[in-house]
């Protein structure tokens, strides 16, 4: 994969944020560093970087897809009910093994805690 200036900017935005960001958050923060960054460019870069595992998608039910840099280990997340921001919890945590109901296929799992962040408390 070619590392373009746009992709470098997105990776830097995710690194600096230290938490999973939505496409809108990436776009907003990316534009602070690179004024010309357009939504189509961001979408394409995210799609390609996700396919190449430079970036991983984080999906919570009823929430927009978020993106973060690949972590060393599985970790839970915390979502603020006030501002909807999602934070990484720096804890090593393995999802429990489950036996899905008959006919169900598991494609992923997440451990999510919720509450309020310091800005919203």
- The nearest distance, CB 79 to Zn ion, in angstroms, is 9
Please work out, in degrees rounded to the nearest 5, the angle formed at the alpha carbon of residue 32 by the alpha carbons of 77 and 6: 80
Per CB under 5 A, the list member of 11, 56, 69, 117 interacting with Zn ion is 117
Give me the residues paired with residue 77 across strands. Answer: 88, 112
Taking CB under 5 A as the rule, does residue 112 contact Zn ion?
A: no
How are beta strands 112-115 and 86-88 bridged, if at all? unpaired
- The nearest distance, CB 65 to Zn ion, in angstroms, is 19
- The nearest distance, CB 84 to Zn ion, in angstroms, is 7
Taking CB under 5 A as the rule, does residue 83 contact Zn ion?
A: yes
- Which pair of tokens denotes residue 19? 């938490």
């Amino acid at each position: 994969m070619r590392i373009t200036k746009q992709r470098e900017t997105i990776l830097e935005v995710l690194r600096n944020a230290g938490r999973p960001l939505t496409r809108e958050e990436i776009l907003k923060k990316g534009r602070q560093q690179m004024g010309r960054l357009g939504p189509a460019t961001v979408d394409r870069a995210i799609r390609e970087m996700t396919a190449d595992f430079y970036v991983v998608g984080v999906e919570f039910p009823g929430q927009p897809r978020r993106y973060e840099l690949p972590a060393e280990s599985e970790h839970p997340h915390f979502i603020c009910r006030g501002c909807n921001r999602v934070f990484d919890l720096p804890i090593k945590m393995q999802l429990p093994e489950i036996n899905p109901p008959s006919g169900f296929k598991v494609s992923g799992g997440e451990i999510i805690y919720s509450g309020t962040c310091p800005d919203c408390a």
